[in-house]
């Protein structure tokens, strides 16, 4: 079945460091891909998405490119801030699901130190 795999956390970085969180997926057909972020005490919020191959999603300095050839959707940011500390979830939504149910990775905790 469909699945999403993320790199294990926690990831600990210093402020202004470069961030990469790896995400790969397994799915038939052409899923949409998402990154959600969860700040402490809050619900999951959409960070960015891409709905077809080679699309690049971007928001708040984060970006990810839908790579069909490597079935990947890695999250990157050039310079992280302490306020980026959160749990990041990669997810897919399969085209065969009319309701758009999301299949999540296990989440990666990012800690940014000043």
* Site residues for other proteins per CB under 8 A: 31-32, 34, 36, 41-46, 49, 51, 89, 91, 93-95, 97-107
Q: How far is the CB of 82 from other proteins (least distance, A)?
A: 22
Q: Which residue's CB is nearer to other proteins, number 70 or number 99?
A: 99
Using the minimum distance from each CB to other proteins, give the nearer residue, 51 or 65. 51
CB of 13 to other proteins, least distance (A): 22
User: Which of 96, 114, 112 shows the shortest CA–CA distance to 37?
Assistant: 112
Shortest spacing between CB 104 and other proteins, in angstroms = 4
């Amino acid at each position: 079945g469909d699945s999403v795999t993320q790199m294990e956390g926690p990831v600990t970085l210093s402020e202004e460091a470069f961030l990469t969180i790896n995400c790969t997926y397994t799915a038939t057909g052409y899923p949409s891909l998402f990154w959600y972020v969860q700040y402490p005490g809050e619900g999951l919020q959409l960070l960015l998405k891409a709905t077809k191959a080679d699309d690049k999603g971007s928001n708040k300095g984060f970006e990810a490119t839908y790579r069909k050839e490597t079935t990947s959707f890695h999250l990157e940011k050039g310079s992280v801030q302490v306020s980026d500390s959160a749990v990041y979830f990669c997810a897919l939504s399969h085209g065969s699901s009319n309701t758009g149910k999301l299949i999540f990775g296990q989440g990666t905790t990012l800690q940014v130190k000043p």
